[in-house]
Each structure stands twice: as C-alpha cells, then as structure tokens.
Chain A
Amino acid sequence: MTPDAIPAASPSLARLIQELNRLPGIGPKSAQRLAYYLIRLPSEEALALADAISAVKSNILFCQQCQNLTDSSPCGVCTEPQRNQEQICVVEDPMDVLALERTRAFRGLYHVLHGVISPLNGVGPDQLKLKELFSRLTQEEVKELIIATNPTLEGEATAMYIRRHLAGQELKITHLARGLPVGGSLEYTDDLTLSRAFQGRQEL
C-alpha cells in the first residue's frame, strides 16, 4: 500500500503501514490493523518493540564457528564445554537449531547454512555458509557430520551436494531418518516416505 492510499493525512502512519506491509505474510489490511494496534499501545510498550528491533539489528552477528545468529561470537552453544566436539549437525536455518535443542537428543555442535540450494530461485552453494562448513571440517576434529536439512527436494539436493563435496574424506556422514511423523497416517503418506520408512524399519 502506498502512503497516498492512506485516507488520514498522516505521513508517519502511512510510513508505518508501508514498513509493516514489507513483513512476510503481512498484507495491506493486516499492516493497517497492526499499525492502529501499535498507535493504541502505551508509549513505553511501542517504544520497547522499536528498541528490540533496533538492538537486534545492531547487536546480532554470525557466530564465527557455527554461523548461527548470536550476540557474541563464538556463540553460547559453541563455547559450551560439555558439547561433543566431534559431531556437527548441519541445519538450514537458526530456527532448526531451536527445534533440535528442544528435543535434548543432540549434544554436539551445529552449523547453520542459512538456506538450501534452490536452483529455481538462483540459490547455489556460494550463497550458503558451505565454504565456512568445509573450512571448519579441515580445522576441527570432527568425526561425524549429521545432515539435518529438511526432507524436501531442495534439502535433499543440498545434502547430496555436501556428500559429493566431501567424498573420499575420512568422515562419517549421516542424515536424519526419513519416515512417518508421530500422529501421521499410513493412508495419507506419500510413496517415497513410506518406502523410506520401510527401509529404515527397526526391530521392536
């Protein structure tokens, strides 16, 4: 929505709506609703939001080791002494680290790619944090690389690219199991997932 489309003669309101409209999933109507909500908020609450955005933009940086977003580099996960330094789990996005940390199933280190190879969108290996991963593997004593990209075609292509690049190196490369989700249903499961679930079946 352009500022001219705002009926009220308020350039600052128009600007706020325009900026909110840039956010993913926020259309012009939602941007208007959010803008009016922010106007009605007490000043200190609205300013706290603005301050949080400003702080994030000035303080957040990439961890020099795992490339996750952090306030200080190396990040808290990389400096935690109890972590298994011989395992690195490769994920697409910082949010995937949060999801895996919630499980408490993994106590190794991470590497965040910040995306996946997406040929249709012109995203190749050079646009990801792959160079950093490969250089990290030469510097650290890593024994297992766990590829935890999403089980999408682009995630699989990224996993294959990493495996191809590291072929011949003395490194165990694994990826997360493919199969049925908890609460899912065989009837609605696609053939590829079902066949991989069969291949990865476990003894009870």
Chain B
Amino acid sequence: MAPPRTYHCEALILKHVPFGEADLLVTFFARERGKIRAVARGARRSNSKLVGHLEPLTQVNLSLAQGRGGLDHVSQAQLMESFAPLKDDLQAITKGFYLAELVDGFGSEANPNQPLYQLAVAGLNAIGQDPESELPLRFFELHLLKVSGLMPELYRCVECRTDLAPGSHRFSPDVGGCLCPDCRPAEAHVRPLSLRALKVLRLLDRSQLREIPSLKLSDSLAQEIKSLLSMSIEYWLDKQIQSNSFLEQLHREEKSRVYS
C-alpha cells in the first residue's frame, strides 16, 4: 500500500516569502519532523482561509500534502498560540525574529529535534513576558547549543581535561569551550573569560527558564556573556545573524534616548 500523501503536524512558523502570484513559501519547525519548507497556495489573498495563520512567530497545527517537486503544500492551518504579548512590542518582535533565525539556522530538514521546538516555544513566551530583559535570549542561545549537541564545555579545560579552578580562563568555540590558564592551543581563536561570566554561563546551563528573571547582571557582564554566546553561534552557523544588526540598532537608539 502506498504511504499516505497527507500529514499533520504541530509547528512554529519561522518565516515566509512571497511565492508566485499569491502564494507563500513558508519555513516552519515542526515538533516531530524538524524544519520544513512548504507552499501555501493563495495565502497572500486577504480572503484566504490560511491568512493570519502562517505569520512568523506563531504556533500552529498544519495539514500538508506531499508535493511532487520536493515542496509540500499547506492545505489547512489552525493557529494554536499567537504569542500576542510579544507582538505588541518592537524589541520583543525583533528578539522573536532573532530566535526564529537561530532555529532556522540550527534546525535541519527531516531531522526532528523536539527539545529545540520546546525551547523555541518557551523562549517566545519568555520574551513576551519581559520584552526588556536580555536574559531569555541568552538562556535560549546557550540551550540552543546544548540541544543541538554543540554545548561548550564549561566545567573542564577542553585541552588538559582538568576541572576549572577559579582563575583567569579563556574561551574558544574552535576548541569547544573553556581553556585553563596553562593550555594555549595553536590557531584557536581564544578570548578572555571572566570568572563571573563563567559562573553565569554555568548557572544558565543548570537553570530552568522560569528561574532566570531573578538574575540581575551588570552591563559589562551582560555584554561579555552576549559576546561569548554570539561568537559560538556564529562559529557554528558560519555566518552572521542578520536580525542581530537591527536588534543592536534598537539598543543603541534606546540608550541614546535614555541619556538624551
């Protein structure tokens, strides 16, 4: 018997682009199927039954039909969660786009990763609850590396494998995490790692997302952690995160408004 040509899935819409006259090419991350790209016919028409259900950063139930040319077709979409609080704030929307870009980059087609799906949904909820806080994004970045099997080593030196004692350590995504003061691998792109930053990274690693809002960081420490995680993410993706530049611009504008 031929396998069924239709299937259903729960998914997070990551992005879409116009396709043909009135269609959309939708990229989504399905809970049980991983990243999928599919065509939603007529979805750009205002009276389409799909309109509004396929917007980026929404959790949906989809019905799809397998296409002949490699692209499946969305036949039905039912919105499950629109993350409405997130969509009322420009910073939160931009953070949501950043999260979606990372899921798109780390998620692979036909490779299910349920922990990544759950992490992304929890991350969007956390951003919506506290649009000003940067910590939900830092938590997401570190745990994204973890659920993708790329978690940097935070407890032992990646070269000599000894436990890291308090001191001046260094960090390098090339070698997979922290280095003790004695190890200096050739050609690794290393940067200093303060003890406070190491402690926060370990705390983020061991914490649940709901525990994060109680953590208060100085600007310099927050910047150090952000920079270390961005370096790891861009190393593994081997490209710059597009949405990061607009996020940075918003931060700069916000700061200049506060100080003016």
Contacts and interface: CB of A to CB of B under 8 A. Distances in A.
27 contacts: A25-B19, A119-B94, A119-B242, A119-B243, A120-B97, A120-B101, A121-B242, A124-B245, A152-B55, A153-B55, A153-B57, A153-B87, A153-B93, A157-B93, A160-B89, A160-B93, A181-B46, A181-B47, A182-B47, A184-B46, A184-B47, A189-B52, A190-B52, A190-B82, A192-B52, A192-B79, A192-B84
B7 interface: no
A122 B84 CA distance: 24
Interface string A146-186: 00000011001100110010000000000000000111110
A153 B52 CA distance: 10
Contacts of B79: 190-192
Contact of B247 (A25, A119, A188, A190): A119
Interface residues of A, number: 27
Contacts of A188: 49
B249 interface: yes
B87 A156 contact: yes
B70 interface: no
Chain A binding surface SS class? helix
B28 interface: no
Contacts of A120: 15, 56, 97, 100-101, 242-243
Contacts of B187: none
Nearest to A192: B82
Interface of B: 15, 19-21, 46-47, 49, 51-53, 55-58, 79, 82, 84, 87, 89-90, 93-94, 97-98, 100-101, 242-243, 245-247, 249
Nearest to B48: A188
A125 interface: yes
Contacts of A164: 90
Contacts of B243: 119-120
Interface of A: 25, 117, 119-122, 124-125, 152-153, 156-157, 160-161, 164, 181-185, 188-193, 195
Given A156-B93, A157-B94, A122 B82 contact: no
A2 B160 CA distance: 54
The 6 closest A-B pairs by CB, nearest first: A190-B52, A119-B243, A188-B49, A160-B90, A122-B242, A181-B46
